[in-house]
Amino acid sequence: MEHNNSFPNIINNIKRDLEPIQNFKLIRAKDGVHVYKCLYEDAPAVAKYFENEDDKREILNYRILARHNIPTIKTLALAKSTIVMEDITFSENWRLGIPEDLEDAGVAKALASWYFIFHESGSAVPELDTLYFEYDSITEDNLKMLIAKLPEAEELFGFLLARYEKLRELIYKPSFTLTYNDFYWVNFVVRKDKKVAMMFDYNLMGKGYRFSDYRNVCWSMSKDAKAAFTDEYNRLYFEKHNHTRAEAEKLEECIENIAGPLFSLFTAFTKHENFPDWAKSFKEEAINGGLLSKAKQLLL
């Protein structure tokens, strides 16, 4: 029996994608992405269906992860518009992330290990150049759009437009790898002994800088958890490469300090009907001259 309000047309599409699937119960439906608990070959599973072509990139992303032995939760099927994954709530060994994990140094250390594997393997992915990159959105047209949206920050955007070629050159200068781009506790699983953790939900996975992921993780964590993550990631990197990332990370951070707020402003103005709270600090930095000061340090 299907759950009420479960979008029968979507369920029919999933069944056409994958025949051995049944007993749908809607978990979430938002922006053309539908998530159901279900049975797949009589085993508890979660199905994720994508209406929009852009969102179907997550299916390719799971294929990339599998080809390069990057650990994530077990996928039972990958079809044209549907992913079917194990239902972690039935797992003997794993559990879903919880808010308290962001304060847990043991979980942070486990996540650092996963991110290190993800980044190391991701730098050699043949598809890397074709993947989504957040800062591809930093175009002259989008900077002009921001002038229209934020005339109070016209000096900032005018400065960036005048030095646009140098800005683009710097954005593409660092080494790229796979980046997750969407860190939060709702998007990872933890082994019940807390020795291993890994991300899932790869719709925003793409290419980028290690520092971008690193910053996303550390923004969310407590001081102790952040220190545990940092120490473990740096230890693993030095152990493998016999040097630190200090110089590369400094360049990535300088670029991220400019490009990150710009991307956030583009997203806030173009993807949301009302300007979101999470972007207000970036708006203020653009208006008060803080972002312009950083831009001058990078581009003059």
Question: So what's the pLDDT on residue 8?
Answer: 86
**Domains defined along the chain, listed by start:** 8-91 (3.30.200.20), 95-299 (3.90.1200.10)
* Six-digit token string for 177: 């790898």
What backbone torsions phi and psi does residue 77 show, to the nearest 5 degrees?
A: -160, 145
- Distance CA(211)–CA(261), nearest Å, equals 14
Tell me the helices (H) and strands (E) count for the chain, helix number first.
11, 10
Q: Identify the residue whose tokens are 């709702």.
A: 186
- Distance CA(228)–CA(41), nearest Å, equals 41
Maximum distance among all Cα pairs of the chain, rounded to whole angstroms:
65
pTM for this one? 0.93
Question: So what's the pLDDT on residue 4?
Answer: 45
Question: So what's the pLDDT on residue 5?
Answer: 56
Q: Of 3, 58, 26, nearest to 182 (Cα)?
A: 58
pLDDT in tens, the chain (300 residues): 444 456 889 999 999 989 899 999 999 999 899 999 999 999 999 999 999 999 999 999 999 999 999 999 999 999 999 999 999 999 999 999 999 999 999 999 999 999 999 999 999 999 999 999 999 999 999 999 999 999 999 999 999 999 999 999 999 999 999 999 999 999 999 999 999 999 999 999 999 999 999 999 999 999 999 999 999 999 999 999 999 999 999 999 999 999 999 999 999 999 888 999 999 999 999 999 999 999 999 999
- Distance CA(108)–CA(196), nearest Å, equals 10
Q: Of 207, 200, 187, 25, nearest to 99 (Cα)?
A: 187
First to last CA, the chain: 65
Question: So what's the pLDDT on residue 142?
Answer: 97
